C-alpha cells in the first residue's frame, strides 16, 4: 500500500482562496526516491527544471537535497542563486537568451549553456571575451524523436523550434572548438513533457548512441556529458494511488539502452516528476448553478491560477475536501470571462455547495508559476505545511 499524503484540510480554514499548498513530506519523499535511483548509478546527475515551480521554499528544499538547477531564463538563474544553488550546479537552456542573461550566467559561473543556434554561440563567445571568461557550452540537438504526449509539449521533432538539426552537429561543434572563449563540453536533448511511455526515452537513447558513434568516427569526443532533458510524466488521474512517479523504470531505461562512454556523465532535467504531485490548488465553491443541460460548480480559482486545463485540455483530479454527501455531476468552472475557463467537465463530486473547499490536485508543476493577472486578478499565494 502506498503511504497516503493527506491534505491538512483543518488548517486551510480561514486562508484566503485560491492558494497553492505544497506537501513538503511528499516532495522530500519524491526527491529521496530520485536520489536512491541515481546514487547507485555512476555519473548520474539530476538538475531540477526550475520552470516547473520556482516557489523559493520549494527551490531551497531541492537545493539542500543536493540536486542541480536547470534554468531557461535569467530570472530562473537568479531564483536558483537566491535559493543557494552554486553556479556549477546550474545549467541554462533556451532558444532566445538575451545578452544580460548570458552575462548573468557567465558571472555566476554556471556549469554550461545549452546552446540552441550558431547565432547564439557567436554571441556567447563575444560576451565571454568581453568579460574575459570561458563559457562552457553544450549543444542542444534536435533528435527528431516524437513523444506520446500533447502536441503543445513535444519539443524533439524536426519541425519544432528547439535545438540544432542533427546534420549540423559537427559544424557547430567544430566552430565552438575553434572559438577563443568557448569550451565544448556536451550534448543536450529534450523530447517533450508528461511522457509515460518508457519507449519514447528508449528511442532517444538509441538516437544518442547513433550520434555519439558518428561523432567519434570523426574524431570528436567523447563529450564530457550527455544531457537527456526531462519529461517523465505523473499520474494525473490517480494522485493518491501514485504520488511518486516510477523513477526506477525511467532511470533503468537509460541505464539499459544508452551507451555511456567511460567517465562520461549523464544529466537529467526533471521538473514535473519532482514537484507535480506535491502541489494542490485549493479553491472555494462560490456558487452552484443549474441550467437545463448542466450543473456548474463555480469556484474562485480560474485559468489565471491554473492554466493547464485551458491550454492543454489537461485533466486534474478534483476533490471536495468537506462534503460527505452523495455524488453528483458537475462542470467545475472558474470566474474568468473565457469559455475555456473550465477545470473539469462532468466531474463526479459529493454534493457541493457554496463555501466548500475543493482541491485541484497534481498542480505542483506548471501551476503557480504559470499564473497570470488577467482580469486584474491577484496572483495566488503558495504555502508549505510550515506556513499554515
> Which of 108, 176, 107, 110 minimizes the C-alpha distance to 140?
176
| Contact yes or no for 228/198 (Cβ under 8 A) | no
Q: Of the listed pieces 115-123, 164-172, 266-274, 339-347, which binds ligand LLP according to CB under 6 A?
A: 266-274
Question: Which is closer to ligand LLP, CB of 221 or CB of 364?
Answer: 364
Interaction mask 340-369, ligand LLP, x per CB under 6 A? -------------------------xx---
Runs of H (alpha helix) within 272-324: 272-275, 308-312
> Taking CB under 6 A as the criterion, which residues in 172-201 touch ligand LLP?
190, 193-194
30 interacts with ligand LLP by CB under 6 A: no
Question: Which is closer to ligand LLP, CB of 120 or CB of 356?
Answer: 120
What is d(CA 105, CA 115) in angstroms, rounded to the nearest whole number?
A: 13
> Which of 128, 209, 193, 117 minimizes the C-alpha distance to 155?
193
* One residue of 5, 257, 296, 312 binding ligand LLP per CB under 6 A: 312
Identify the DSSP state of 299.
Answer: E
Under DSSP, is residue 381 helix (H, G, I), strand (E, B) or coil?
strand
Least separation in angstroms between CB 129 and ligand LLP: 27
Least separation in angstroms between CB 262 and ligand LLP: 26
> Which of 388, 371, 369, 372 minimizes the C-alpha distance to 56?
369
Least separation in angstroms between CB 320 and ligand LLP: 24
Quick count: other Cβ atoms within 10 Å of Cβ 350? 14
> Taking CB under 6 A as the criterion, which residues in 47-106 touch ligand LLP?
49, 52, 70, 93
Interaction mask 271-310, ligand LLP, x per CB under 6 A? xxx----------------------------------x--
Question: Which is closer to ligand LLP, CB of 20 or CB of 330?
Answer: 20
> Which of 283, 293, 279 minimizes the C-alpha distance to 334?
283
Least separation in angstroms between CB 296 and ligand LLP: 24
> Which of 235, 267, 215 minimizes the C-alpha distance to 38?
267
Question: Which is closer to ligand LLP, CB of 149 or CB of 352?
Answer: 149
Q: Which cell numbers hold the place of 162?
A: 528547439
Measured at CB, which residue is nearest to ligand LLP? Answer: 230
Under DSSP, is residue 159 helix (H, G, I), strand (E, B) or coil?
coil
Q: Of the listed pieces 101-109, 234-242, 264-272, 323-331, which binds ligand LLP according to CB under 6 A?
A: 264-272
Q: Of the listed pieces 31-39, 75-83, 167-175, 225-233, which binds ligand LLP according to CB under 6 A?
A: 225-233
Q: Which secondary structure element, helix H or strand E, spans residue 329, and what is its range?
A: strand 327-333
Least separation in angstroms between CB 219 and ligand LLP: 28
Q: Of the listed pieces 196-204, 228-236, 244-252, 325-333, which binds ligand LLP according to CB under 6 A?
A: 228-236
| Contact yes or no for 368/55 (Cβ under 8 A) | yes
What is d(CA 308, CA 299) in angstroms, rounded to the nearest whole number?
A: 16
> Which of 220, 228, 114, 214 minimizes the C-alpha distance to 174?
220
Question: Which is closer to ligand LLP, CB of 147 or CB of 169?
Answer: 147
| Contact yes or no for 335/283 (Cβ under 8 A) | no
* One residue of 230, 302, 334, 364 binding ligand LLP per CB under 6 A: 230
Least separation in angstroms between CB 351 and ligand LLP: 31
> Which of 358, 388, 372 minimizes the C-alpha distance to 380?
372
Give the interface with ligand LLP as residue ranges (CB under 6 A): 49, 52, 70, 93, 153, 155, 190, 193-194, 229-232, 269-273, 308, 312, 365-366
Amino acid at each position: 500500500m502506498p503511504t497516503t499524503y493527506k491534505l491538512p484540510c483543518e488548517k486551510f480554514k480561514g486562508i484566503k482562496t485560491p492558494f497553492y499548498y505544497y506537501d513538503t513530506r511528499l516532495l522530500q519523499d519524491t526527491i529521496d526516491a530520485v536520489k536512491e535511483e541515481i546514487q547507485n548509478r555512476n555519473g548520474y546527475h539530476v538538475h531540477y527544471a526550475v520552470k516547473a515551480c520556482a516557489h523559493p521554499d520549494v527551490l531551497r528544499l531541492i537545493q539542500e537535497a543536493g540536486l542541480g538547477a536547470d534554468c531557461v531564463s535569467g530570472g530562473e538563474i537568479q531564483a536558483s542563486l537566491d535559493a543557494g544553488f552554486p553556479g556549477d550546479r546550474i545549467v541554462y537552456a533556451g532558444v532566445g537568451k538575451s545578452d544580460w542573461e548570458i552575462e548573468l550566467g557567465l558571472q555566476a559561473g554556471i556549469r554550461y549553456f545549452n546552446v540552441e543556434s550558431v547565432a547564439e554561440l557567436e554571441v556567447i563567445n563575444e560576451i565571454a571575451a568581453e568579460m574575459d571568461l570561458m563559457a562552457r557550452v553544450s549543444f542542444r540537438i534536435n533528435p527528431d524523436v516524437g513523444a506520446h504526449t500533447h502536441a503543445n509539449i513535444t519539443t524533439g521533432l524536426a519541425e519544432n523550434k528547439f535545438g540544432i538539426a542533427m546534420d549540423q552537429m559537427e559544424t557547430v561543434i567544430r566552430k565552438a572548438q575553434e572559438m577563443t572563449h568557448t569550451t565544448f563540453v556536451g550534448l543536450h536533448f529534450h523530447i517533450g513533457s508528461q511522457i509515460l511511455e518508457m519507449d519514447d526515452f528508449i528511442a532517444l537513447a538509441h538516437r544518442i548512441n547513433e550520434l555519439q558513434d558518428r561523432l567519434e568516427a570523426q574524431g570528436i569526443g567523447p563529450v564530457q556529458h550527455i544531457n537527456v532533458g526531462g519529461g517523465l510524466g505523473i499520474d494525473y488521474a490517480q494522485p493518491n494511488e501514485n504520488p511518486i512517479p516510477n523513477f526506477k523504470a525511467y532511470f533503468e531505461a537509460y541505464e539499459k539502452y544508452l551507451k555511456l562512454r567511460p567517465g562520461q556523465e549523464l544529466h537529467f532535467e526533471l521538473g514535473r516528476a519532482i514537484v507535480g504531485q506535491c502541489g494542490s490548488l485549493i479553491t472555494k465553491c462560490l456558487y452552484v448553478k443549474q441550467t437545463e443541460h448542466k450543473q456548474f460548480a463555480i469556484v474562485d480559482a480560474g485559468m489565471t491560477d491554473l492554466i493547464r486545463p485551458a491550454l492543454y485540455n489537461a485533466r486534474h483530479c478534483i476533490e471536495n475536501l468537506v462534503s460527505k454527501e452523495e455524488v453528483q455531476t458537475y462542470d467545475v468552472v472558474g470566474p474568468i470571462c473565457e469559455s475555456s475557463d473550465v477545470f473539469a467537465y462532468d466531474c463526479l463530486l459529493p454534493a457541493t455547495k457554496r463555501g466548500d473547499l475543493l482541491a485541484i490536485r497534481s498542480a505542483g508543476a506548471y501551476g503557480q508559476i504559470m499564473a497570470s493577472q488577467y482580469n486584474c486578478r491577484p496572483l495566488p499565494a503558495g504555502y508549505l505545511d510550515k506556513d499554515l
